[in-house]
Amino acid sequence: MKLAAVIGFFCIAVLVPSFAQSTSQSPGPQQAIDAYHMDQPKLSAFQQDLLSNQKAFLDAMKRGDSAYVSNAIANDFVLIGPNGDSAGKGDLLENATPPKENQKAPLFYEFKVIQLADNAGIVTYDVVRPAHIERYQHLSDTWVKENGQWKLKFQQTTLNLWSAHDL
């Protein structure tokens, strides 16, 4: 389904500007075309809270704020990596480092929040990791609120197989 959406977007992105240019009555420079953005669904207060927490966590990971990251991860945290291996809190903390000079930071997008209970939810999202062989990934993070604070309990990473070895 995502492939169909990408193909549809590509067709619109290529055909609309071509049509607009061929039907333009003024011979001047090509005018910019406003992009069409689909309406985002309204988020509940729970979803907004969990999504804000998720984005703050990812920002702390990108900044290398290991104190924030350590506080946000539950002690019994479990990670399932793209190859199926499991890891724990310490392994995720090792990845809380700022990008090296001339290294592009990962790009996170397509966030979705699923509420499991009043104090638990899952955030799914996609990531592009530039210059990484496993560049395109889908992640699912399970959060539980303990003593009024969100704690990351579980994370699973899945490769987008169509691009797993895209160089």
Report the pLDDT value the prediction gives residue 21, as an integer from 0 to 100.
Answer: 43
Report the pLDDT value the prediction gives residue 135, as an integer from 0 to 100.
Answer: 75
pLDDT of 15 above 50? no
The CA–CA distances, whole Å, from 70 to 18, 46, 127, 161 equal 51, 23, 21, 31
More confident residue, 48 or 167: 48
pLDDT of 54 above 80? yes
pLDDT of 99 above 80? no
pLDDT in tens, 59-87: 999 889 999 999 999 999 999 998 899 99
d(C-alpha 64, C-alpha 152), whole Å: 17
Question: Can you tell me the mean pLDDT for 138-145?
Answer: 96
Mind giving me the DSSP string for the chain? -HHHHHHHHHHHHHHHHHHHHHH-S--SSPPP-PPP-PPPPPPPHHHHHHHHHHHHHHHHHHHT-HHHHHHHEEEEEEEE-TTS-EE-HHHHHHT--PPPTT-PPPEEEEEEEEEEETTEEEEEEEEE-TT-TT-EEEEEEEEEEETTEEEEEEEEEEE-GGGTT--
Question: Can you tell me the mean pLDDT for 5-26?
Answer: 42
Report the pLDDT value the prediction gives residue 159, as an integer from 0 to 100.
Answer: 85
C-alpha 43 chain-centroid distance: 17
- Which amino acid appears at position 144 of this protein? V
pLDDT of 162 above 80? no
Report the pLDDT value the prediction gives residue 5, as an integer from 0 to 100.
Answer: 45
What domains lie within the chain, and their CATH numbers?
45-163 (3.10.450.50)
Q: What is the pTM of this model?
A: 0.70
4 pLDDT band, cuts 50/70/90, is very low
